[in-house]
Amino acid sequence: MSGKKAKRIGVLTGGGDCPGLNAVIRGVSKACIGTDGMEMVGIEDGYQGLIEKRAFPLDWERVSGILTLGGTILGTSNTANPFKWAVKKTGDSVEFADVSDEVVRYIDELGLECIVAIGGDGSMAIAKGLAQKGVHLVGVPKTIDNDIWGTDTTFGFDTAAAIATEAIDRIHTTAMSHHRVMVIEVMGRYAGWLTLSAGIGGGGDVILIPEIPYDIEKVCAAVLDRSRRGRRFSIVVVSEGARPKGGEMVVKQTVKTSTDPIRLGGIGQVLARAIEEGTGLESRVTVLGHLQRGGTPTPFDRVLSTRFGVKAAELVQNGASGVMVALRGDDIIAVPLSDVGGRMRLVSPDHPLVDVARRLGTCMGD
């Protein structure tokens, strides 16, 4: 959808933090300010800033020097949803309200002619809903999980994969020294991209992802086979969303006020116990957790984030709305938010990376 060129632009970062957020803020802001003299407004803490009416001016100086910084200078929230906002909590019960009309009014009060929403699948679904209410929006796909529909890669993924791979490299030496089975639990929610990439890059002997339910007997057999062949250690890389055949994912906690209340975690401990019981081999667990989200983005993510930001600015300048920037091959394109919101990009069991792992002799649990 297109219309008149916007002159006052809002930008927000929603969902979990990840490396490259500041690079996008910098890219879109400098391109908008420098190319067409637009005025930029930073919205605090994602959609929560729109709900609670918190915003501030962004100028050239404020977005300078932030390219390499992790996190986001705007702040973020992974519980704020204008269509399902927690307004009251009594004991274990939570009452939600649709405050999206109030958000639309606040956007009008700020004089924003377009909003650049940087976020993951949940943020894009919210953006889709606001676009249907007439808000001009351009989305930018962010997540270390790499699970957003419509783009080959999200920014933040490359950095998280590099961090996880380095962690596996370091754990390798401990595993070899102590002759242990080392289980490394990796983020990624319901998608296995991060675990698969880090597992291959770090030389994992067993890689378990949500899309391929595992058989614990086959996992134990693979570990024992290595032991019999004189390989006195094994590296098991498991996604937080992995589950056994016929079983469920391990849920760490439920956050009732969140739009995505399920918090996964704990599969590493469950798996290590099962392996130790099934093989008699000492097993230990490392949960990488939020370590994967922080720090300086890789050069790839800095460049991709900047390209996404500049493309978003171009779309805004051309009056586009209801679209998300995306990487397709080497090109940055625009895809309709209506095609993106509410969908997830998962690993196909016959994906080439899965085939690569299998050809290397990696156990995928099935």
The domain boundary residue, chosen from 294, 309, 327: 294
What pLDDT does residue 259 have?
62
The answer to the question of residue 275 being in a domain is yes
Residue 91 has pLDDT above 80, yes or no: no
Retrieve residue 65's tokens: 């020097």
Residue of 17, 45, 145, 301 with catalytic role? 145
For residues 276, 280, 282 and 288, what is the CA-based torsion angle, rounded to 10 degrees? -20
Identify whether 359 is part of a domain.
no
Annotate 125-143 with DSSP letters as a single string.
Answer: HHHHHHHHTT--EEEEEB-
What's the DSSP call for residue 244? B
Domain annotation covers residue 212: yes
Structure tokens given for 111: 């004089």
pLDDT level of residue 78 (50, 70, 90 thresholds): confident
- Checking if the pLDDT of 90 tops 80, the result is no
Annotate 24-49 with b (16+ C-beta within 10 A) or e (fewer).
bbbbbbbbbbeeeebbbbbbbbbbbb
CA angle 125, 53, 341 (to 5 degrees): 5
> 3-state DSSP call for residue 328?
strand
> Residue 109: how many CB atoms within 10 A of its CB?
10
Question: Is residue 365, in this structure, part of any structural domain at all?
Answer: no
Q: What is the mean pLDDT of residues 285-295?
A: 91
Confirm whether 339 is a catalytic residue: no
| DSSP class of 33 | H
For residues 134 and 187, state if they share a domain: no
| Band (86; pLDDT cuts 50, 70, 90) | confident
Task: Round to whole Å and give the CA distance between 298 and 321.
Answer: 30
Residue 117 and residue 233 in one domain: no
Report the distance separating Cα 228 and Cα 234, nearest Å.
Answer: 12
Task: Quote the pLDDT of residue 163.
Answer: 96
Considering its fold, how many domains does the chain have in total?
Answer: 2
Do residues 312 and 197 both lie within one domain?
Answer: no
Tokens of 72: 């986001």
In this prediction, residue 254 carries a pLDDT of 75
101 touches 132 (CB < 8 A): no
Each residue's pLDDT tens digit, 250-270: 888 777 666 667 788 899 999
Contact 138, 117 (CB under 8 A): yes
- 363 within a domain of the structure (yes/no): no
Within a 10 A sphere around the Cβ of 244, how many other Cβ atoms? 19
In terms of pLDDT, which residue wins out, 121 or 313?
Answer: 313
- What mean pLDDT is predicted for residues 276-290? 93
- Residue 219 in contact with residue 183, Cβ under 8 Å? no
pLDDT tens across 143-168, in order?
A: 999 999 999 999 999 999 999 999 99
**Is residue 79 predicted with pLDDT exceeding 90?**
no
- Same domain? For 111 and 189 the reply is no
Query: What is the four-CA torsion angle of 215, 234, 190, 361, rounded to 10 degrees?
Result: -70
Note whether 232 and 280 are same-domain residues: yes
Residue 144: half-sphere exposure toward Cβ, Cα within 13 Å:
31
Residues 102 and 218 in one domain: no
Q: Which is more confidently placed, 7 or 221?
A: 221
Sequence-distant (≥ 6) Cβ neighbours of residue 262 within 8 angstroms: 251, 254
Q: What is the pLDDT of residue 2?
A: 46
pLDDT above 70 (res 27): yes
State the chain's mean pLDDT as an integer.
Answer: 92
Domain CATH code at residue 252: 3.40.50.460
**232 shares a domain with 143:** no
Domain boundary among 262, 294, 326: 294
Residue where a domain terminates, one of 240, 273, 294: 294
Q: Tens of pLDDT along 161-203?
A: 999 999 999 999 998 888 899 999 999 999 999 999 999 999 9
| Sole residue written with tokens 């081999």 | 281
Residue 310's alpha-carbon distances to 133, 268, 297, 314, in angstroms, are: 26, 40, 18, 6
Task: Dig out the tokens for 109 from the structure.
Answer: 């009060």
CB atoms within 10 A of CB 99: 21
In this structure, the answer to whether residues 12 and 126 fall within a common structural domain is yes
Residue 356 lies in a domain: no
Please check whether residues 260 and 320 belong to one and the same domain: no
Percentage of the residues of the chain whose pLDDT score is greater than 70? 97
Same domain, 23 and 113: yes
Do residues 8 and 29 touch, judged by C-beta distance below 8 A?
no
What is the pLDDT averaged over residues 226-249?
A: 93
| Of 302, 353, 355, residue with least CA distance to 158 | 302
pLDDT given for residue 257 in this prediction: 66
Compare 259 and 294 and report the one with higher pLDDT.
Answer: 294
Residue 138 pLDDT class (50, 70, 90 cuts): very high
What distance in Å separates the CA atoms of residue 145 and residue 157, rounded to the nearest whole number? 6
| Whether the predicted pLDDT of 327 surpasses 50 | yes
Position 267 in a domain: yes
Q: Are residues 55 and 140 in the same domain?
A: yes
Residue type (1 letter), 71? G
What pLDDT does residue 253 have?
79
181 and 237: one domain? yes
Whole-prediction pTM: 0.91
pLDDT confidence band for 1 (50 / 70 / 90) = very low
In CATH, what number is assigned to the domain containing residue 123? 3.40.50.450
1 inside domain: no
Tell me which residue range forms the domain holding 274: 160-294
